[in-house]
Chains A and B, each alone.
Chain A
Amino acid sequence: MAPVLMWLIMVLCLVISVAKYLMGLILRLAHPGAKVRKDYSYEPTVSVLMPCYNEGKTVYETIESISKSNYPNEKFEVIAQDDCSADDSFEWMLKAQRDFTNIRIRVGRNEENCGKARSVCNALEHSVAEVIISIDSDCIFHPEAIRELTACFGEPGIGSVGGRVGVRNPNESVITAIQTIVYYTAFQLYKIPENWTRSVCCISGCLFAIRRELLLEIEPSIRARHWFGIPVNQGEDRFLTHQTLLRGYGTYIDNEALCWTTVPNNLSQLFKQQLRWRRSIVRDFFFTLRSLPRHVWKLHPNTVLTLVLTPLGAIIGLLVVITSLVSDPMAWAGPVPMITALALAGVLTWWINKFSVHEAIEHPLAFGAYVAWAVVSSLFLTPLALCTMDSADWGTRAKPSEVAVGNANI
């Protein structure tokens, strides 16, 4: 009975995933109704909150790109919050404040290191704008990003809007090439059906816009998050999205609001980053299970299935694979699954190279590496995350002892 149930759950997860990708493709190509009704005349005041930790000069480049936004300068500001960086990030913020005087830039610093989520909340305390945009301090933003995000709030009921995150360094290594495919498929296919129902499960923290009153309502919950007493500083983007949905608002990803992030260029950092994300998914999973009736009642079925089946499918999938490997170790050696996966990855790579010139992948074996990573990621990360829920390690930021102090004051 148990093996049958495991297989059923895994097949259900696979079917839903495949269906979502296919739906994404169909909606993208043939259903304009999937897109939100934008109102470009709507120009609310905007605070761009930028928490920062050990980013060095990158933070300067981020503020620079924001300063070039095509949005009325008097209607937006940047609030940069340093989380006690061990490097010269704070100096670079101050330098940006001095250099980009066309916009209002405010710089603050936490008394002690307390993580990204609380840094956002701290920055929020200084904001009075109608729309809050939280960004990552290692991203470069398209000049139209703010305008695109705010225009989406023209549709009533939209509570949070995210931007499309592209990879800034797709060809730095095969690891970055893998992530380029991951990011592209996530934004251009997987999230499209969620967009259609205005129920995106996770808006990326790289570019996250939310109505002020909604954020203020959620903010105490963000500060109060903990795992058996251990403060949770990760996954505030997923938490915010989830809370937005539970409060009856819609969530949406605007693929025309672009930003570019520098993704990890080595396996270790990628692994840690993905593990961190997976912990957020597991936290969300437990939270969903704790209040499942409320979720079922309030949220779109697509959202509930995604919240529940994504982590459950990963755990069950690992058990099924272990069982299969024990009972028939050579089963995976058949050429059909491997060829199918490689072919799909090849098509995706070709698609990206054709339709997203900035992210064109040069590495010839990237699609093969993507398949290998997809297997590892799908099977091992969620169980590993389940066993490391108490970890507060961010993973992709250098430790204080590792940072090199730059020359921000020159």
Chain B
Amino acid sequence: MATQTFEPVPAATKKGAAKQPLHYRLMLTTYRIFAVTVLYLVLIGVVCYAFVMGFYAVNSTWAAPVILSAQDEKSLDFREKLVTSQQTIEDLRVDTAKLEKGLEEMQAHRASLTPLEPELEEAINREQAHDRATGPQLAALDKQKLADNKKTQALMEQLDSTRADIQKDLAAGLITRSDATSELAALNQTEDGLTDSRIAEVLLTDEVLDKTNIGTSSLDVLEKQSELRSEAAQLDVAIQVADKQLNEENRQIERLHDAIQTAKQSPYYLNAAGQQRIYFAFVPYDDQANATPGSPIYDCYLNMIVCRKVGTVGKIFPGEQQATHPIFKTQIRGFLIQMDLDHTESAKSKTVFMGSKPLLF
């Protein structure tokens, strides 16, 4: 096969470059300035971004100011709950007062019932002893009375012949009518006396029965004794229940009172109820060591450089809070502090630093 080497090919490109028109050169210069600016801006942006990310990843002195408004949903909610709690306490106090009064009445009534029981017992015993004594006597008298009545009855059977004799005597004129009437009246009186005696005997039998056996009157007494005991027991239970309820309500009042006292220390309450503007900052748990009352607070340009002291850490609120990390935008846990600011505009900064300047200047 044939081989061949050419002569060098003349270059035409440089000539073209030399004849670059003015508007091309202007465009190119503009483009280069623009491109270099953009590239440096991007480079600076990337370096700054990486630095900020790294800085906030390792820094443990930052806090994020939080501006709480009285109209803030959380503050309003908090206030509403506080009012509800106070109302509940008031309601509970009224309830306990009622309960206490009722309890006192029940206890007084119970106290009045207490001596009745032995008195009743004693009366029953006394009556029973008396019955035991008088019962046999009455029984004997009842027997005697029954025998007397029988004798009287036998005598009364002769009264008809006596009455006939009186009539005969009157008809015979042996006696006057007046005498006859008197004698007849006496006879009737005798019959009437026998009837009374019989009634008395029956009543006596009843009396004997009452005194020698458990009769209805005894049962009544026992029923009353039982009622008395039941009433006392019911009162005891009611007193116990009322007492428990009273204790429980008192405890609840105490708890609510404590809760309200704690709530009154909350930033949301202070913010909603306070007369003065209070400035708060969220501190993540990682930065807790630097959040001590009295520590200086610094505010910096670009969130990290050229810092100045703007105030001190005031109160530290113990309740846990959740917030979004100002740089990483992740959810973090921490707590709120009160900032005593000399420069109140720092409350609007994205971050402030506690204890010392983050970069020494």
Contact = CB atoms under 8 A, between A and B. Distances in A.
Contacts of B28: 228-230, 390
A19 interface: no
Given A387-B38, A390-B31, A229 B6 contact: no
Interface in A176-231: 223, 226, 228-231
A264 interface: no
A328 B8 contact: no
Nearest to A231: B13
Interface string B2-15: 11111111111110
Contact of B8 (A94, A103, A110, A388): A110
Contacts of A110: 8-9, 11
A130 B35 CA distance: 44
Interface in A95-127: 97-98, 101-112, 114-115, 118, 122, 125-126
Contact of B1 (A81, A102, A389): A102
Contact of B329 (A81, A118, A329, A390): A329
Interface string B320-361: 000000011110000000000000000000000000000000
Contact of A106 (B4, B12, B42): B4
Contact of A325 (B3, B6, B42, B49): B49
A contact residues, range: 35 or more
B185 interface: no
Interface residues on B, range: 35 or more
A108 B6 contact: yes
B244 interface: no
A353 interface: no
B39 interface: yes
Interface string A390-410: 100000000000000000000
Interface stretch (B16-24, B118-126, B254-262, B282-290): B16-24
A330 B332 CA distance: 13
Contacts of B16: 226, 229, 231
A383 interface: yes
Nearest to B11: A112
Given A101-B1, A106-B4, A228-B24, A122 B9 contact: yes
A327 interface: yes
Interface in B240-282: none
Nearest to B20: A229
A111 B5 contact: no
Nearest to A118: B13
Interface string B298-320: 00000000000000000000000
A112 B5 contact: no
Contacts of A330: 328-330
A228 B3 contact: no
Interface of A: 73, 81, 94, 97-98, 101-112, 114-115, 118, 122, 125-126, 223, 226, 228-231, 325, 327-330, 383-384, 386-390
27 contacts: A81-B9, A97-B3, A101-B3, A102-B1, A104-B1, A104-B4, A105-B3, A105-B4, A107-B5, A108-B8, A108-B9, A109-B9, A111-B11, A118-B11, A226-B16, A228-B27, A229-B20, A230-B17, A231-B13, A231-B16, A329-B53, A329-B329, A330-B329, A330-B330, A387-B39, A389-B31, A390-B35
The 5 closest A-B pairs by CB, nearest first: A108-B6, A229-B20, A387-B35, A229-B24, A122-B9
